[in-house]
Amino acid sequence: MIARQAIEEGRGLVVVVNKMDLLRENQRLLEKVMDAVPKEIQTVIPQVTGIPVVFVSAMEGRGRVAVMHHVIETYEKWCFRLSTSRLNRWLRKVMSRHSWKDSATQPKVKYFTQVKARPPTFVTFMSGKTELSDTDIRFLTRSLKEDFDIGGIPIRILQRSIPRKVSSFKSNIKKRGSSIKRMKTDKRTEVSDPTQS
């Protein structure tokens, strides 16, 4: 299906339904079609919500302005960018309202940033080996679309891990090339740097 392929390629999508003039005499059927088409699209492409659907009649010239309006709006959303500072302020709020299965094992997101547009692509930098689940990713995606009004386009969220820095007194001493010697008088440890001698 062309629509699914477009979404997989990260493109914005506007669905245009033509020949609505054929239903002009049957208002009940017209309403059914206008209600059923968006639902069917959501079933076929569940990963993207809010795809605009425009009903037109090419023969009568109806709907052309609406098509262009949605095309421009979708393109602007597709090019959407957010600063890292704004994203992280948003992230703190949105994470607090997410219901985690186990607070003890809640993934720790260090920070969140947008790395590209067309489509909007974000990266979560995670502490250690923790990862967001598919449910968490869907929650963040849905929250981004709702809070920043960017529904109807594909959004990508990637994960990167930040290794925990194991820093100890001994490792720091070794890095500086320092030696440790014991004082005879009070048994305290003195650190000397061979580069200073």
Q: Which two tokens stand for residue 179?
A: 């030696």
pLDDT digits (tens, 9 = 90+) for 131-179: 888 988 999 999 999 999 999 999 999 999 887 664 444 445 444 554 4
pLDDT digits (tens, 9 = 90+) for 11-21: 999 999 999 99
Domains defined for the chain, CATH in brackets: 2-78 (no CATH), 84-162 (3.30.300.20)
DSSP string, 101-127: S-GGG---EEEEEEEETTTTEEEEEEE
Please check whether residue 44 is in contact with residue 13, taking contact to mean a CB–CB distance below 8 angstroms: no
Q: Quick one: how far is CA 174 from the chain centroid?
A: 42
Residues 61 and 45: their CA atoms lie apart, in Å, by: 29
**Predicted TM-score (pTM) above 0.85:** no
Question: CA 13 → CA 41, 72, 86, distances in Å?
Answer: 11, 11, 27
